[in-house]
Structure 1
Amino acid sequence: MGLRGFTGVDSEGFSGGLALFWHESIEVIVKDATARYIDVWMRISPDEPMFHATFVYGEPRTENRHRMWSSLSTLCASSSLPWALIGDFNEALWSYEHLSAVPRAESQMAAFRDCVQRCLDSQVYLSHMIIGGLEIIMCREVRTPQVRSCLRYEIFWERDAALKEVIETSWKGLGPMQDIGGVTRGLASVMSSLHQCGKRKFGNVTRELARLREKLSSLQASNAPREEIRVTMDLMNEILYREEMLWLQSSRIDWMREGDRNTKVFHQKAVWRARRNKILKLRDDMGVFKTVPSDMQRMSVSHFKFLYTRDPSLDHTSITDLIQEKITEDMNNDLCKEFTDKEIADAENQI
């Protein structure tokens, strides 16, 4: 291969073994080498800063992956240098990354995400990309005195089929990248292109949702054709999904930053939420307030029984006709059939 720099870990029989090669012009200091990773400090050229790099081949056995995540958390804390985490982790962050007929257990992916999140703090910026099947997680210190806006990846962009093309076009347009600085600039360029595409195709989710709600109310009030109402409802459901993803991502970021720190602010939030949700009294049909728990329980049960009791005088077809059937008869039969021993064994192996 023409690469003179080398370090490696021997295989165990016919399995395992890692090897790392590099060009002689690159300065590499090997800090640690195990059966699952090779950890080094690197300098691309004499005038470039030193950075931390870990090359990973993930744990193949599901029950032992917690050891891999623990090791990565330790490596994250072992150095204050910018850190590049590269390799095959044998795990996916999200279900859409797992291209297999056998579904990936959510608990497995959540453990990997938690490991990545533990490597984040107020002074670290993270980018995650998969290029040519190789997973790259870039972490670098950000110690700038000025507060700058951060371009964030929005999950709902993935609803656009052209997302992959936007990423590939932006990445390939930068040409070959010779050093880690080029990779960093490339990631920034891809993120900028994604934001421009997102603004152009998706716009402002909140304003679009308000506009569609107003349009739907107008259509229903004017007794518009059902097909037009259905199209508007489908579009509004898509916008509602995007809004849900925005809130999900926002709450996840708050949890990553502050969730594991039992601060006074989060404690006060929890206490306030508990007080707000506590029901102290209920008013009955006669206008009398009830504060005894047994009376409140009886009133609640009676209320919901009445609420969900079918009214025979109402014609529901105007609503049910708008619902599109998704489950076919064959699909329903397949869902209702008895579990096989193979399905049970596959489910147990995914735990």
Structure 2
Amino acid sequence: MRRVREKLDGYYGIDMDSAGRSRGLAFMWKKEFDCSFVSASMHHMDFRVREGEKEWRVTGFYGWPDVSDRHLSWDLLRLLNGQSSLPWLCIRDFNEILYSTEMKGGSRAQWQMNNFQAAVDFCGLRDVAWEGYAFTYDNGQAGDNNRQRMIDRAMCSEAWLEMFPYAKNFHLDREWSDHASLKLIFYRREIGGKTRSRFRFEQVWVGEEGCEEAVCRGVEKGQGDLVSTIQACAKELQAWKKISIGKTNRALETKHRQLTRLNEGDRSDVAVQKRRKLIAEIAGLYKQEEQYWRQRSRALWLKDGDRNTKFFHSKAGERKRKNYIPLLIDDDGRECIGNEEVAKLVVDYFEGLFKSDEPTNFNEVLLGLEGRVTDRMNRLLRMDYREEEVVEALN
């Protein structure tokens, strides 16, 4: 994990190596975030986060895997609860379920769930609203030997939920791991439907078969002016990209839909074998896509690398970052969420910024200005025009 962290230049991070059955832990965050380390062990990592006026804590938690040691998990949870009064988010693998409905296959002793419930109640934690397939763990076995559990979760205090009322925890599809990844969204998505993505020409398309022909078709379809020609070229390139460049992406999307159905389906021998084969196919597609972009980046670097442009620093990196404003805060401290509220606040702000207050008393301002017109100059300017002056000016 340390090698992965070292390759990510835009991130800070802390990692703990694995020991025995205890898995290694890692916590990474973007460098622009105000995140402070508090404490860590083989079973937790605790941090303090500041986001503008908001301050809260987040704990990555890993419960003891052995049932005989599980009480240590709840002792640690209670200990962490008493160390800070900040709004609290506690997330990841608790290695236990709260209720019998959170398992599929096998059995669970009631006292195990009761102990977890008691620790959660003591700490005042509750589940963040989640979406996706309920069971985040699958042992990968077939038939009666299959065990599925919801042991990966995001839990928070009431104060944290008041701070982030629209937070949602998404259970992503399992791929190579026996655990599903969790994706926590803090803010509600914009209301008003999907926004149209902006077209961007990718340098890596240069030299691809069909790219030049698409541009030529766009030039022919243009109406003669620059704007219409660019628009026609963009339309042709988008159509060409969808057919020629997006083959791997479309294949991955299809495979992931199949994987979702298999993850949520039965665990017969046939289904398990089919899932293993599908995972191998997805891995092959990822490798194929990675190899393609690496080759394109290398080819372009060898050809044009001496230009030292921003593109070659990123080397065909991802460029589809969305400029998304989750919310704005008005002068009264109220959070404005969604397209309409955010747009109205922005318009009101700039109207107030550039609107005149219609001042009437200019004396104070004028007293601070140094005069350029002397009294003599002013008398000459205020004199009546003479007839010979008008004639001279007109001639």
TM-score normalised per structure 1: 0.37
When normalised by structure 2's length, the TM-score is 0.33
Larger Rg: 2
